[in-house]
Structures are given as structure tokens and as C-alpha cells.
Amino acid sequence: MPSPASAPPAPSNLRRVVTASLIGTTIEWYDFFLYGSAAALVFDKLFFPESDPLVGTLLAFLTYAVGFVARPVGALVFGHYGDRLGRKRLLVISLLMMGGATVAIGLLPTHAQLGSAAAVLLTVLRLVQGFALGGEWGGAVLLVSEHGDARRRGFWASWPQTGAPAGQLLATAVLAVLTAVLTEEAFTSWGWRVPFLLSGVLVLVGLWIRMSVDESPVFKAALAKAEARRAAGNAGNAKAAAAEAETMPLPAVLRHHWRDVLIAMGARMAENISYYVITAFVLVYGTKHLDMDRQTVLNAVLIASAVHFAAIPVWGALSDRWGRKPVYLLGAAGIGLWAFPFFWLVDTESFGAVLLAVTVGLVLHGAMYAPQAAFFSELFATRVRYSGASIGAQFSSVAAGAPAPLIATALLADFGGSTPVALYVIAAALLTLLAVGMAKETRMRDLERIGEPGEPGKTEDSGRVPSPRGVSSSVDGR
């Protein structure tokens, strides 16, 4: 008989879980991306006015990068408690933290009102945002992955991933409307605060929906098994005591899944770097280097984000048919090949060309981002899955997404052109191709049966899982 995890869930329950995860991640990414767009457009004037315009932008992006530094800390803390207490409870906390920090940014005095302390407070709030997002991603994708069945896990788990383009779309849309209806003076004076304050309303909606879903059935099953083992009475057994001591998720991840963590980190390099170059750095490149109209670049990112949103579930479904690795490798290779054409098109300063550059870039990015949720979930055992997926995803953000706009802006300032930035993206693509190429295919893994090497009752080859009849079978189910 199939395990509960592998049995198809009730469609209405699964749709509710997917909707809750999607709305929650959309709000969290809206908050996070809103900061990046504001950093590119106005934060240099508001919080670093004494600097040269490009240096001011670099300083604004530096506070932007601070949020990424906090994400691994959030991954450790939320992963630890998410693996011990459950996914749902931690997701509620992350949503409240992110929303509170974003609203506080909207109320923050500027340099003109508070001096240098304004930049310090901005940095602290950005740290809170990063800490919250570090815990959000892993919990949201796991809640869906652990509710769904293996046959369509790539498709369903890709929906929380659409929260990133949806958040980008929402943040860019709000900024585009405000810059269209307000004068530049009004936008710089008070208009920039509106999208940050709007987050308070969005968080209330997201909280109401997120509270309505059930805890992951895979986590509840793992928790019940652990309690049954403890009740069996092995208190006097030294081996059992040692096993119990390793219920701390982080040591278990580092001992049993260190290779999977490195694969996840490498897989994120091209995905993370390319995304922030395409959506955040392009605003700087277009408006400050090419002197393009701000509205033109914002509109291009806005439309491309809508296409990106639609493409992600398609790539997720293809990963169920073709496998996680082929789709991911296609995206990494494509983004590397697109790096130079991307800037050639933007350099034309034509709206149609800029739109094409950003859209193709984001569609290729989606080929990496869509299967990522299922792929990372399928790498780790249930009792360390929140920690393992979060650590692998968020630790790489320090080396990838955090400095990407900063490095790209610095390269532009030093070399005066896009060639070194394109080479930077290509180097990231090569790292991702290497990491994913070394991974085993994970499609069709039973999430309940994935275990650490050497654990009693588990397979020693993390690339293969026992079949329902106890006969070893390959991960793709063939």
C-alpha cells in the first residue's frame, strides 16, 4: 500500500495550502523587492544625500545587501524550530516580522530629518526583513511539497515560487503607478512611503489565509514516529540516547546532508545572481548609465514579471515530466548564453528591446526557479528538511543575491560598460551547471522515506528509496 505521503491529497485541501503559501510568499517578496526598487530609485537621495549619485546608489544597495546577510541566520533559526514545532507556526511568525519591518520603513525619518541615524535604522529594519525571509521560503515550499503527491510535486511546489515574480509585479506596479501620477518631487517627498505602508493591509490578509491551513501531513507523521520511538522506552540504551541527541536539525544536516547543502548552494548561484541583475540592476543601468526614463524601465520589468509568473508553473510541470535536473540545467545554460544579448538589447534604449531582454531573461530564470522547490525538498529527510532546504537556499544568497546589484554597479562604475557584468552572470551559470550536474535526479522520491545514511530502516543511498514492497527502486520511479 502506498504511504500517506505518496497518496494523492484531497484536491480542495491541496489548493487551499497552495493558495495560502502563494499569497504569503507574494506578500513577503513584495516587501523584500520593494526595498530593492526603492534603493535603486530614491534611497540614495533620502538616506545618503551627501554622496556622489552612483556612490549613493552603491550605499543604498549595501543596505539592500544587508538583508541577504540576515537570511542565513533566519534559515538557521526558523529551520531549527520548523523541524521541531512544525511548518505552519513558523510561517505565521515570518509573515508578521516581515510586514512589521516593511511598515516601519514607510514611517522612517529620512536623513534630512534624523541625520545619519536614519540610515542606521534603515539597516536594522532591512536586517529584520532578511531574517524573516530566510525562514519564509523553506517553510512555504515545504508545506506544499509535503501536502502534494510525488507525481505532480514539481508543479504544485512551483506555485509558492511564483510569489517572487508576483511580489516583484506588485511592488513594481505600485511604484509605476505612483511615479506616473506624482511629480518627482512629490514621489521623493512622500510618495515612496505609500507602498511600504500598504504592506500592513496585505499582511492582515495573508495572516488570515495562512492561519486556515493544516500542518504538513508528512511532518505530523514524522513527529508521531519520533514520539512512538521515545515511548518504546530506550532510555537506558546509549546508542538510542546518542540518536536522540542528534534530533537537533543543524548537526544532522551537517553530518548527513552536507553534500546536498553544497549542491543546493551551487544551484542557486546563477538563479539568484541573474534575477537581481535582470530586475534590480537593470533599473540602475537603464536610468543612470543610459539616462532612460524611469517609467520605461519600470514598465518593462512590470510586464516581464507577469510573463515570469505564468512561466514558472509551466516549468514546474515540465520538471515532473522530464526531471528536475534537465529543466534546471536548461535554465542555467540559457541564462549564461543570454547574458550578452541582454545588455545589447537594453543598450538600444528601445522599450520593445528592453522588454524582450528582461522577459527572455526571466523566462530562463524560471526554468531554474520553478523546479527548485521540489528539488530541494527531495534532497533532505523530513526531520531536517526545513533546516536543510533553508540553509542550502539562504546561505548561497550571501554570496549570490546579496552582492549581485552591488558588484554589478561597482563593475559598471569601474569599467563604464556592461561586458564585465555579463561575464559575471556567465561565471555564475557555470557554477550552477557544475553543481546541478553533480546531483542525482530526485523526481518521484517519497518524502517520508528519505533518510540519512546509516539510519536504521532507511536506505544508505540517498539517491534511491525503498519501493512500497521494500524493493529498492530508482528515484524517477522506473
Q: From first to last of its 478 residues, what are the pLDDT tens digits of the chain?
A: 344 444 455 555 778 888 888 888 888 788 877 887 787 678 778 887 766 566 666 666 676 677 778 888 898 899 888 888 888 888 889 889 988 998 999 999 988 888 878 888 888 898 898 898 888 888 888 888 888 778 899 999 999 999 888 887 888 788 878 888 988 888 888 998 999 999 888 888 888 888 877 787 787 887 777 777 666 655 555 455 444 444 566 777 877 788 999 999 999 999 999 998 998 899 889 988 998 988 889 889 889 989 999 999 999 999 999 999 999 999 999 999 999 999 999 999 999 999 999 999 999 999 999 999 999 999 988 888 888 888 888 888 888 877 888 899 899 989 989 999 999 999 999 999 999 999 999 998 888 777 644 443 343 344 443 333 333 333 333 3
CA distance 256 to 384: 10
Cα separation, 469 vs 318, in Å, equals: 28
Q: Are 298 and 169 in contact (CB under 8 A)?
A: no
Name the residue with cell 504592506.
199
- Measured CA distances, 152 to 148, 165, 367, 450 (Å): 7, 22, 16, 18
State how far the Cα of 55 lies from the Cα of 114, in Å rounded to an integer. Answer: 21
Strand partners, 464: 474
Q: Where are the alpha helices (DSSP H) in 86-148?
A: 87-106, 111-114, 116-145
Q: What does the alpha-carbon distance between residue 286 and residue 280 come to, in Å, rounded to a whole number? A: 10
Alpha-carbon distance of 448 to 217, in angstroms, equals 10
**Distance, CA of 214 to CA of 210 (rounded, Å):** 9
Distance CA 337, CA 333 (A): 6
Backbone phi, then psi, for 417, in 5-degree steps? -160, 180
Record the cell numbers describing residue 153, joined without a space.
Answer: 510535486
Classify 442 as helix, strand or coil.
Answer: coil
To the question of pTM greater than 0.85 for the whole model, the response is: no
As a whole number of angstroms, the distance between CA 27 and CA 167 comes to: 6
Residue in this structure with the C-alpha cell 529543466, named with its chain if needed:
327
Q: How far apart are CA 146 and CA 121, in angstroms?
A: 38
